[in-house]
A and B are shown apart, each in its own frame.
Chain A
Amino acid sequence: MALGLTLIFSILDIINFAHGEFYMLGGYVTYYAFAVFGVNYFLTLGLAVLVVGGAGVLAERVVFRHLRGKTLNAFIVSLGLLWVLQASAQLSFGVLDKSVPSAVSGIVRVFGLVISRERLVVIVTACALITALYLFLKFARTGQAMRAVAQDPDAAALQGINIEAVSALGFGVGCALAGAAGALLAPVFAVSPTMGALPVVKAFIIIIVGGMGSLPGAVLGGLLLGAVEGIGTLFMTSAAVNMLGFLVVIAILLVRPRGLLGVA
């Protein structure tokens, strides 16, 4: 989810507060396809990526394209989109949590460490997605075009890159990653219209710590926040642990204002 958020920021310079709602959309695609209609879970995962990615492209073409270069306007519009999508989900799907059955059940024990197979699938798939995104951006022609637009849109346009198409694709890929996260975590947690509220806050902490626009930074920030929260819970109250995440952000920004791996 944080990867998608930072990808969108790097290419379009948009702080997308509605990113959690694309995550929620991925959860509902999984609920209806897998839990209600019995589609294979891994096919559902692909379906969620396509549907949410498509919704992202649509959002870019209808809304965000017209706000390119107006960071503050785009920020406010993304807040509005958050409320519109959340209210639409409440009206369409109801307000109660919906449970998605586990695609894989059971637990795995490794040197005394207990983890559910369900979470193992999430970890492995997340690693595969990160690797695929890295390879796409590094070697694929379209991925290289995205990086070029992220570095200098004007220079990229002079090289013949279609900025509008690349921006739409970048927004779509970013949202598709959120959709994949929603689909992966739907069986682990439950699905609800507000399920994206907390993850998007954590995703922002992660990309600020890692460096806005840096994909390796997002991965590093995620690992750091996870470690801080996981270990912190053993010694502190839940309220203190939540505060700890923000303290880490403040401390890192004071020492390194552009984040751990961010560039000036």
Chain B
Amino acid sequence: MTPRPSLAILIVLAVALAVVGAGPAPAAEKTLAIGLLGPLSGGAASYGVELQRGAEMRADEINKAGGLKIGGDVYKIKLVAYDHKAQAADAATATNKLVFQDKVKYIIGNAVGATCNAAQTITEPNKVMFSFVCWGTANLAPEKPYSFRSMLSQWELAEPFYRWVKENHPRVKRVAVISPNDTSGKDTNTAVVKALKALAFEVTADEYYERGTKDFYPVLTKLLAQKPDMIDVAAAPAGEAGLILKQAMELGFKGAKGWTAGTNPFTIIGVAGREAAEGVWSPANINVKSEHVNSAVRKFGEAYEKRYGEVPGVIAVANFAAFDVFTQAMQRAGSVETDRVLEVLTKERFETVWGPLVIGGKETYGIDRQFLYPLVISEVREGKIVDLTQVLPAALKKK
């Protein structure tokens, strides 16, 4: 015989349900896993570390504020980061793990162009939103609508940088360019060489080295034999760029030094030493202590330095901004579905640490997926970073 619940129990249950149903339904707390890729070890580790820290800072802010309210749900952010050591094969493996094992729909953060290409073979067909600071030209394209670059690339930086060199340092006429032998390096040298030729500089060397190289004497011997007025360690990461400049100085080079991809000149001082790093110009960096940046960037820089004991470079700021923009777009879309978020992201205006977000790049890449902001040309002087001038990229001027 089936036991029957007593009338009293049924009444209590009914009252309880009525009480619960009378008020607004509480938001269900869920977890939103957001992926991050990067070279977290090896010669390009400084990029990955900044990416991770920038994302961590925004994720922690969101979680401490109670989570991300999207529609009727509240999401706690869980950051899932994998190291690909700047290797494309490792990046493909890591992206597969993020997409199919961790089930992420957003990967906010990656660096090194070849690894972005590898990751995009998985993110694009699976409609995973992907934001990165990679410098591969092909990383943004009409057939890659879910991909965004959150930092200015060589195509936005090289021309205004070398225009400034020409106008302010007319003695520089012969320039040697050296980068790692991969997609980032090749694309960066291509953009730099194109800008140099357009501005009537003489390119004495368009040189490449294998990532992980420590001894640059052989390649520098060849490069310096052409007697350049300036060496641009274009897409070299800090660890390798520092060694190139240090060893060039040992071999007697006394000319001008540029670092088109100089995302954090503080790091190059650490590796090259103050003497070899002295005078390095960089158009890619953002000095978070400078008068050229707004109060939001300065505030971010102070919080970052307090937390990690280091001054952040542009990559940390860019990934913090990207994390902020993507999560804002999810809230406005009222959904974590990437198609709905993509629609909001490309149609609405967003406030970021950079100020109002501008997304452009259609003239260069065939699609507007490039975050745009003013660039600041800086110089290393006596172990410090001195901002020289602020310049608008051509694409931003048109906006």
A133 to chain B, nearest CB (A): 23
**CB–CB A194/B42 < 8 A:** yes
Residues in A with CB closer than 8 Å to B49 are 95-96
**CB–CB A237/B208 < 8 A:** yes
Tell me, in angstroms, the Cα distance from A153 to B85 when the chains sit together.
42
Partner of B218, one of A98, A99, A102, A234: A234
Partner of B239, one of A116, A188, A192, A229: A192
CB-based nearest A residue for B220: A233
Interface: B252 (CB within 8 A): yes
A117 to chain B, nearest CB (A): 9
Interface: A69 (CB within 8 A): no
CB-based nearest B residue for A239: B181
Tell me, in angstroms, the Cα distance from A89 to B181 when the chains sit together.
27
Given A99-B273, A102-B273, A190-B243: A237 in contact with B181 (beta carbons within 8 A): yes
Partner of A190, one of B181, B217, B252, B271: B271
Interface: A88 (CB within 8 A): no
Q: 1/0 per position for B144-186, CB-CB distance to A under 8 A?
A: 0000000000000000000000000000000000000100000
**CB–CB A95/B181 < 8 A:** no
The interface residues of chain A, by DSSP majority, are classed as mixed
CB-based nearest A residue for B272: A99
B193 to chain A, nearest CB (A): 16
CB-based nearest B residue for A105: B275
A113 to chain B, nearest CB (A): 10
CB-based nearest A residue for B222: A234
Tell me, in angstroms, the Cα distance from A247 to B222 when the chains sit together.
23
Partner of A193, one of B41, B209, B212, B242: B41
Query: Which size bracket describes the interface of B in this complex?
Result: 20 to 34
Interface: B221 (CB within 8 A): yes
**CB–CB A238/B213 < 8 A:** yes
Given A97-B238, A189-B214: A238 in contact with B219 (beta carbons within 8 A): yes
Residues in B with CB closer than 8 Å to A114 are 250-252
Interface centre among B41, B85, B251 (most CB of A within 10 A): B41
Residues in A with CB closer than 8 Å to B252 are 107, 114
Tell me, in angstroms, the Cα distance from A198 to B85 when the chains sit together.
14
Residues in A with CB closer than 8 Å to B217 are 230
Residues in B with CB closer than 8 Å to A230 are 217-218
CB-based nearest B residue for A197: B212
**CB–CB A95/B40 < 8 A:** yes
Given A114-B252, A193-B41, A233-B218: A238 in contact with B243 (beta carbons within 8 A): no
CB-based nearest B residue for A233: B218
Partner of B45, one of A95, A239, A242: A95
Residues in A with CB closer than 8 Å to B215 are 189
A245 to chain B, nearest CB (A): 12
Residues in A with CB closer than 8 Å to B273 are 99, 101-102
A145 to chain B, nearest CB (A): 36
Tell me, in angstroms, the Cα distance from A70 to B245 when the chains sit together.
46
A263 to chain B, nearest CB (A): 31
Partner of B243, one of A90, A189, A241: A189
**CB–CB B250/A116 < 8 A:** yes
Given A96-B49, A198-B212: A190 in contact with B41 (beta carbons within 8 A): no
Q: 1/0 per position for A187-215, CB-CB distance to B under 8 A?
A: 01110111101100000000000000000
CB-based nearest B residue for A230: B218
Residues in B with CB closer than 8 Å to A95 are 40-42, 45, 48-49
Residues in B with CB closer than 8 Å to A185 are 214
Interface: B143 (CB within 8 A): no
Residues in B with CB closer than 8 Å to A118 are 250
Tell me, in angstroms, the Cα distance from A190 to B236 when the chains sit together.
15
Chain A 87-138 residues near chain B, CB threshold 8 A: 90, 95-99, 101-102, 107, 114, 116, 118-119
**CB–CB B43/A238 < 8 A:** no
B87 to chain A, nearest CB (A): 12
**CB–CB A198/B46 < 8 A:** no
Chain A 234-263 residues near chain B, CB threshold 8 A: 234, 237-239, 241-242
Tell me, in angstroms, the Cα distance from A96 to B271 when the chains sit together.
10
**CB–CB B239/A97 < 8 A:** yes
Residues in B with CB closer than 8 Å to A192 are 42-43, 45, 239
Interface: B210 (CB within 8 A): yes
- List 6 interface pairs A-B (beta carbons < 8 Å), by A numbering: A95-B49, A96-B267, A189-B215, A198-B214, A233-B218, A238-B213
Which 6 pairs of residues, A with B, have the shortest CB-CB distance? A233-B218, A97-B239, A116-B250, A189-B214, A95-B45, A95-B41
Residues of A within 8 A of B (CB): 90, 95-99, 101-102, 107, 114, 116, 118-119, 185, 188-190, 192-195, 197-198, 229-230, 232-234, 237-239, 241-242
Known: A96-B49, A237-B208. 17 other contacts (CB 8 A): A95-B42, A96-B267, A97-B43, A97-B239, A97-B242, A99-B271, A101-B273, A102-B273, A107-B252, A116-B250, A189-B214, A190-B271, A192-B45, A194-B42, A194-B212, A229-B218, A234-B221
